[in-house]
Structure 1
């Protein structure tokens, strides 16, 4: 399983197998596969984790189990500790969006990045956070700041996937409408609209046509879009003339 292009998800002293399984499911939902477990309370492997993982059992199968956080994060160059509570430790504090942006930048430069997630009862301890390079704080309700382990993993993994989507592949240039394609479409529309008396009064016709041309030029039209619009105009004319 390839893990180099996503962060390590490090669960520190997780307590319930169900939450580990749900975290694995959240990870795979958004493309994360590198799970590491630090001293799971109920041992490993855990049948309850498999039951909650649904189709993400392969994440559990490849999960690393270590006795200490230092061992689990040993190959990481930069790590983030997730916590909902203010801490006395002096470290950079990021929102999930900011943390993921920083993590992606470091990963793109060849570094390995990890995120620490604490146990369900009270989250990460100060000794855990002291080992991280930065803190990630989710802007939750201060009167009820507790997040389920899997929810916290999902929030960060979702943000990772969301930012990945911002760099989606562009449409191939060969599929985009050319200037000539758009000019022909504009001419076709002008012809049919002129027949329908749309350009009235005549003194305003040049301005109206220019506005329509400007509209077409602003749209990121594909060649298939052009064909659909030409076809729609032809069908409207046939319907008007009683043809099918």
Structure 2
């Protein structure tokens, strides 16, 4: 019987968090994006923490399973690659990743069987040099330089989002068709012909010398419009109704 594949998901390590509410919110953010390996070092208000449970809102099992450590060294002892999230380099020469690139790298390493961790600093001070020196690389979020500090749970949410995107990135934009399909070229051509016929009857294409160019521009307009079959039927109906109204006059 073959052994199960190693879990590629990184561990999110909260270093000396000060508020239970932020630990709970971080757990909720992690589970939102399918991350379940939480580690916590030296939480200021002790452990377990009722405020963390209250803010976890359904993600309490992450808190139940969280690895509680005394030091950063202990929290990353079994890891092969560690990222440190920080807005400042602190004079340490290290590769600096964007969140997107960091999580793509984490996924590649995890797929190879490596254990990856991401460090998040305490709310008041962020990570100290003694923490950052243990990391292989830094993750820097391109925030406003005049107000760069992120809330702990916000930073966890951002990194979790990028982790999820690195796996199955959804399209940047998509259109949900409500009970219809996109119009075919034949249907668009029939609509164009209908408009040309009715506009011709109305005397729109004048003077005669300009008619070919006007019709060409009109057809080009239709080709730029992403119309559905329902849209095409509405346009046909509009033209038919306009003709009926004209005939009644």
TM more than 0.5: yes
1:143-182 CA-partner distances (Å, limit 9, x unpaired): 554332112223333445566334788999xx55443333
Using a 3 Å threshold, how does the CA distance of structure 1 residues 197 and 24 change in structure 2: closer, same or farther?
farther
Corresponding position of 1:13? 16
Which moved further from structure 2: 226-235 or 84-93?
226-235
SS state of the match for residue 165, structure 1?
Answer: coil
**Following superposition, which runs of at least 4 residues in structure 1 exceed 6 angstroms of deviation?**
167-172
SS state of the match for residue 230, structure 1?
Answer: helix
Give the drift of 1:51. 1.6
Q: Distance in 2 between matches of 1:107 and 1:194?
A: 66
Q: Distance in 2 between matches of 1:194 and 1:33?
A: 66
Which moved further from structure 2: 27-36 or 162-171?
162-171
Corresponding position of 1:99? 102
- Are 1:39 and 2:42 counterparts? yes
TM-score w.r.t. structure 2 length? 0.73
Corresponding position of 1:210? 216
Give the drift of 1:120. 1.9
Instruction: Give the RMSD, CA atoms, in angstroms.
Output: 3.7
The answer on whether the counterparts of 1:185 and 1:226 sit within 8 Å (CA) in structure 2 is: no
Q: Distance in 1 between matches of 2:95 and 2:216?
A: 53
The answer on whether the counterparts of 1:188 and 1:230 sit within 8 Å (CA) in structure 2 is: no
- Are 1:116 and 2:119 counterparts? yes
Tell me how many residue pairs correspond in the alignment: 237
TM-score w.r.t. structure 1 length? 0.74
Corresponding position of 1:200? 206
Q: Distance in 1 between matches of 2:152 and 2:199?
A: 60
Q: Distance in 2 between matches of 1:6 and 1:212?
A: 54
Using a 3 Å threshold, how does the CA distance of structure 1 residues 5 and 39 change in structure 2: closer, same or farther?
same
Q: Distance in 2 between matches of 1:135 and 1:192?
A: 65
SS state of the match for residue 116, structure 1?
Answer: strand
Give the drift of 1:58. 4.2
SS state of the match for residue 39, structure 2?
Answer: strand
Corresponding position of 1:51? 54
SS state of the match for residue 57, structure 2?
Answer: helix
Which moved further from structure 2: 132-141 or 84-93?
132-141
Using a 3 Å threshold, how does the CA distance of structure 1 residues 179 and 124 change in structure 2: closer, same or farther?
same
Q: Distance in 1 between matches of 2:33 and 2:239?
A: 45
The answer on whether the counterparts of 2:15 and 2:127 sit within 8 Å (CA) in structure 1 is: yes
Where does 1:59-98 land on structure 2 (aligned, <5 Å)?
59-73=62-76, 76-98=79-101
Using a 3 Å threshold, how does the CA distance of structure 1 residues 240 and 185 change in structure 2: closer, same or farther?
closer
Give the drift of 1:87. 1.8
Larger radius of gyration: 2
